[in-house]
Amino acid sequence: MKTIAQTALAYTLALTAIFGFWHGVGKPRPIPEAELADHHTLQCVSYAPFEKDQSPFDFAKGMTIDPARIDADLAMLSTRFSCIRTYSVAGLEALPEYAEKYGMQVLLGAWVTVDEKVTEQELRKVVELAKRYPATVRAVVVGNEALLRREVTGAQLAGYIQQVKAALPGVPVTYADVWEFWLKHPEVAQATDFVMIHILPYWEDNPVAIDQAMGHIKKIREEIGDKIPGKEIVIGETGWPSQGRMREGALPSLENQARFIRGFIALAEQEQWQYNLIEAFDQPWKRSKEGAVGGYWGLYNAERADKHVLAGPVSNFSNWRMLFAQSAAIGLLTLLIARGHGSMGTGRWLQFTVAMTTGAILIVLQGHQFSIISTNTYEYIWGFAVLSLCASVYLLALKAIASGTMPAHLSLDASLDFLRGKSRLSPEAVAGALRLGVITCALIAVLGLVLDARYRSFNNFGFAIPALAYAWFFRKQKGQKMPSMLEHLSGLLLAAGGVAILINETPLNWQADIWVAICLLLAYPLWRENRGISLRPLLPFGLLVLVSFGAFAALRHGIFISERLVGVCTDTPDKTICLIRSMIGRLMYNQVFAWASITLAALAVWRNAVWLCALALVASLAGLAFYNVNLAALAFVLAGLTLVHRKNSVKIPA
């Protein structure tokens, strides 16, 4: 009876704590609203017609935009905005007609790209529509961030603007880009009728936190006015994301998005600025190009539901009841463990309850994050792998607490031997394979965050469970394992990667700070147990990695992303250096580097051959340098683990 009472009390406390957590984070919070006159309509908002599973790339597959979609969208937007901005005329030929129907004006955009044929088609169509709807088209915007993308030169862009101005006398014509690029290319400002700048505090090279965002916008708006005198300044894009990874002190959240938009509207009305907000609806397709944050700039979600950005209380977890139910279900499943160890004392019951509650919340938080950030097969597989690993360690830790016995596990080397069929199945082998999976995934994540951090989220919730569990296991462990180069190097790489991330993200990014702590917690036992073993046998391979990556990085900066080659290769695309640049672009776009590296890594793991491992490492470094990071990071870690294990086996026989 006492055991039943203890169990009931423990789970009652756990479920109460879980409910309290989700209720606390999910409660809507009031946010000050701009003081506007009744029925006051806002100015412009960026508009794209794409629904949840659509993207502009689908036009090449024959997709068309249903005019009824445009009609319904503009009917909704016209209740709050007097104007919309578009970025292309592809699929939007009917838009000016519906804008006219709802009394809205249009900043009509033409997409400018490196493909001159596509650009000319856009310019012809935008001229045609502007002539057909002169009362609706307020201005034409020739190109959006084409200079930022290094797809055209300033001179080319100025030529396109002059071309449209000649065809549309009396219609204002401009270009839109991040504010710095107007200062870098004064010839573009000279060609335009007014200047349209983008000010996105979150995306600045030095990101601006929400509390300083309004001051930053005002400073930049005044600076551009001073440096480009005689031109009207229009803020063509400003906004804040509701989801995504933190950049230094800039945190995406629905509450921060509402704070930003409401604060900006109040400031713009006070300063009498012309502006355009980004954007009307969330665009999930942008997540594949910009990470999770790219898909969550909308005032409405992809299903056209109001996110309450403009008015009303706001919750970062409006679905908190469902998340509570998921956490509660995970917690209750652990009864299977508790039931078999009902004789736990009060101290162990307390430890069990705290661990069970915390883990149930963390697993659901991680699953919720993956549901937001995952966009492709690799990311869904990654999410499943991380959740499976952290859930398994969660159960392992709870069993250890309940039984009072620390789980024994094989070393990383012995775990690799087990997976290669060289040792028998045992609880230690399973626990070792689980630990190997955690370290492998952590190394892959660190590599991505060091070399390609801009669009990557921190998987803190999931990895916190094994980091804390293994640190606890290590503290309770007794006995010494055979030294391992693999564990020593893995610990050093995790620690070094954590430090690199901290430097890159700065301590202002508390998401990064947590990730660094996770890396150090995972690294310390690996390093502490193996610090006496020499890594000298790996020196030639370390030099190979450094030299290869240096060569690929030089090729990337010197040729592929070189600004000076943009104009050269536009004028003389047949030059050898331009052909090399084009070939690299095709290989990168088609993920050739990634697939070559993962194929070689799979062969290296299968054959357990040092030369194949070295070849896979070099191929994966090409993928890391040329933005095929997901598969290349996986290939690099798999090849690296196999190589070090092979060298360690030679040095220290099993």
> Going from the N-terminus, what domains does the chain have, and what CATH number goes with each?
40-295 (3.20.20.80), 320-535 (no CATH), 537-651 (no CATH)
Q: pLDDT tens digits for 186-240?
A: 999 999 999 999 999 999 999 999 999 999 999 999 999 999 999 999 999 999 9
| Tokens coding 500 | 């690199």
Rounded Cα–Cα distance for residues 281 and 271 (Å): 26
pTM, whole model, 2 decimals? 0.93
| Tokens coding 137 | 């088209």
**One-letter amino acid identity for 528?**
R
Rounded Cα–Cα distance for residues 631 and 614 (Å): 17
Rounded Cα–Cα distance for residues 600 and 606 (Å): 10
Mean pLDDT throughout 79-86?
Answer: 97
Residue 279 pLDDT greater than 90, yes or no: yes
DSSP designation for 481: P
End-to-end CA distance of the chain, in Å? 51
Mean pLDDT throughout 296-303?
Answer: 96
> Over the chain, what is the mean pLDDT?
92
pLDDT at res. 527: 86
Q: Which stretch of DSSP H or E encloses residue 3?
A: helix 2-26
Rounded Cα–Cα distance for residues 625 and 460 (Å): 25
Calculate what percentage of the chain has a pLDDT beyond 90: 77
Rounded Cα–Cα distance for residues 296 and 311 (Å): 18
pLDDT at res. 654: 40
Task: With cut-offs at 50, 70 and 90, classify the pLDDT of residue 476.
Answer: low
DSSP designation for 57: G
The residue among 83, 134, 144, 154 whose CA lies nearest residue 110 is 144
Residue 267 pLDDT greater than 90, yes or no: yes
DSSP helix/strand/coil, 306: strand
Task: With cut-offs at 50, 70 and 90, classify the pLDDT of residue 35.
Answer: confident
Please enumerate in sequence order all residues whose Cβ is within 8 A of that of 409, keeping only pairs 6 or more positions apart, or say none.
415, 428, 431, 432, 434, 435, 473
Mean pLDDT throughout 154-176?
Answer: 96
pLDDT at res. 652: 47
366: left (phi over 0), alpha (psi -120 to 50) or beta: alpha
pLDDT at res. 477: 66
Answer for the pair 158, 190: CB distance below 8 angstroms, yes or no. yes
Beta bridge partners of 107: 85, 139
Answer for the pair 378, 399: CB distance below 8 angstroms, yes or no. no
Q: How many CA atoms lie within 13 A of 237 on its CB side?
A: 24
- Phi, psi dihedral angles at 145 (to 5 degrees): 55, 30
- Strands 42-46 and 274-277, how do they pair? parallel
Residue 59 pLDDT greater than 90, yes or no: no
Residue 482 pLDDT greater than 80, yes or no: no
pLDDT at res. 585: 87
Rg of the chain taking only CA atoms, in angstroms? 28
| Tokens coding 27 | 């409660």
Task: With cut-offs at 50, 70 and 90, classify the pLDDT of residue 165.
Answer: very high
Q: pLDDT tens digits for 423-445?
A: 888 989 999 999 999 999 999 99
